[in-house]
Amino acid sequence: RADRVHWLAILRAPWCGLTLHDLYALAGNDHHQTIWSLMQDSEVVGRLSADGKTRLLHMREVLLEAYANQGRMNVSRWIRGVWLMLNGPDCLWEQADVVDVQAFFSCLDNLDRSNQFSPERMQSEINKLFAAPDSHGEHLQMMTIHKSKGLEFDTVILLGLGASTGGNNSDQPLVLWEEVKTPHSHELLAAPYIPKGARDKESVSPYDYLASREKARDANESARVLYVAATRVERKLHLVGIANQNAKGEINPTKNTYLDLLWPTVAPIFEADLQVEGTTQPLDDIASFTPQLVRLTQPAIPQILLTHRVAITQPKPNVKPSYQNNLEADMGILAHRYMEMMAQQGLAHWTTDRVASLAPSMQHWLRQQGHVESVAKEATATLQLILKQTLNSADGQWVLQTRPDAAAELGITCYDQGGVKGYVIDRTFIEDGVRWIIDYKSVSLESNLTDNEFKTVAEQYRPQLDDYAMLFSDQAVPVKKAIFFLSAGKLIII
């Protein structure tokens, strides 16, 4: 309890959200007592703002109950209960956050079941976890112009076109040289720098000639690089640059910049903007900028936890699954991950050739799960067929097409029958006023099944989809539930 840094981090986190002023009021004047001890001191707590005091007392109430229950239940259930009382689920803003939290608690469950829990072992196992893939990762990419060569994007934004990139060009090299082609050979032309006071102002020295050639090359290279950047775009190009206005009211860009190259074309745009009536809002002083504190508006123990004794479902007995079931589960996980990426990134970015190029990474991931190379290779081939079948099927393209407010691998946590339960919906969206809830199944099926036989198989999953539908019962829209069989590329409505 003496780790002040981590204690302050807990109090700063979104579930508590103390301001820096309140944190200093709590711990800034006493560097000897622990943070937990200071939280028990009414005089110290009284120094906080009204909002800070409310937040701190809520945190103290939760932790007091947590310490009272320490050792009365397994560690995973204990930590999960504290997280829920702190409104942890309300602090998850991204879909990937839900997956990361599930991975964390799954890690704790495994340690509990194996009776190997210790703070050191927990830290070691958590260090092995990786954040869930960001399905939005390809929507925005930041890179240099040079790195963008050969790539194409729907929209390109070029920033800082008015900034100089040439460094300090006032320093003149002592010697310039260049290989010059003559009618009969190549000659090396070299010229020393001549100070201005030591040369005729009217004459052009060899050094001036070489310097002008170097300047022309730099200008041509800048134009080439700008051309490369501007031609990476397929739909929209945004050019962002700043030009300065002198005392005479004239607008001119900084010399030797990309904006300077574009100036003959964009100058009328800048001049037109000057004619717009009204004044712009002054920019805030960067020195006084304070980043927004991300936190819960009113932290409090959820009402449902105050009126009910939360019974987190105890983990099932540690029954070791068969190797085949383990392989099928891993293949399902991998198939669902790629389906999520297809849905989020759009079908325009996914072809069968791209799927084929992912075979090495699929095999590598399966080997990391403990499967031998031959099994991983065979499973990868099956996954390739499944994903290609999805891309080539009409139902698969319809399910994965981009829609406003669509979601893939949507995580929802709710209170259900005396316990907290989590759901992950593979695909959901609203089409023509109807809420679609679709669950993916990667099970292998006979290729010659009839529609009725597909429906018979799909009916086995009706209870699962009924549970999903209940999560949207507060929406005044009709619901359609369906199973999408990846291996057949077929959507069955149930």
Looking at the predicted structure, is the pLDDT value of residue 444 above 90? no
Q: Which amino acid is present at 13?
A: A
Those residues whose C-beta lies under 8 Å from the C-beta of residue 197, and which sit 6 or more positions away, are none
Rounded distance, CA 16 to CA 59, Å? 7
pLDDT at residue number 485: 93
**DSSP codes, 165-210:** -S--TTPPPSEEEEEEE-SS-EEEEEEE---GGGS-TTS--HHHHH
Considering only CA atoms, give the Rg of the chain.
32
Residue 354 DSSP SS3: helix
pLDDT in tens, 344-362: 888 988 999 999 988 988 8
Rounded distance, CA 441 to CA 484, Å? 6
CB atoms within 10 A of CB 439: 19
Global pTM? 0.42
φ, ψ of residue 65 in degrees (nearest 5): -65, -35
Q: Would you state the CATH architecture of domain 320-494?
A: Alpha-Beta Complex (3.90)
Count Cα atoms within 13 angstroms, Cβ side, for 98.
17
Question: CATH 3.90.320.10: which residues of the chain?
Answer: 320-494
- Give yes or no for a contact between 359 and 327, defined as CB atoms under 8 angstroms apart: no
Least Cα distance to 13 among 65, 86, 66 occurs for 86
φ, ψ of residue 395 in degrees (nearest 5): -65, -40
pLDDT in tens, 261-271: 999 999 988 88
pLDDT at residue number 322: 43
C-alpha distances in Å from residue 458, one per residue of 177, 276, 441, 463, 488 = 78, 63, 9, 11, 13
Taking residues 310-323, report their average pLDDT: 42
pLDDT at residue number 281: 59
Least confident piece of the model among 17-31, 38-52, 284-298, 396-410: 284-298
pLDDT in tens, 171-186: 788 888 888 787 888 8
- Give yes or no for a contact between 191 and 205, defined as CB atoms under 8 angstroms apart: yes
- Angle 41-80-86 from CA coordinates, rounded to 5°: 45
pLDDT at residue number 208: 85
Rounded distance, CA 58 to CA 40, Å? 12
Least confident piece of the model among 22-31, 125-134, 151-160: 125-134
Question: In the chain, what is the straight-line distance between the N-terminal and C-terminal CA atoms, in Å?
Answer: 54
Rounded distance, CA 154 to CA 237, Å? 9
Spacing of C-alpha 82 from chain mean position: 27
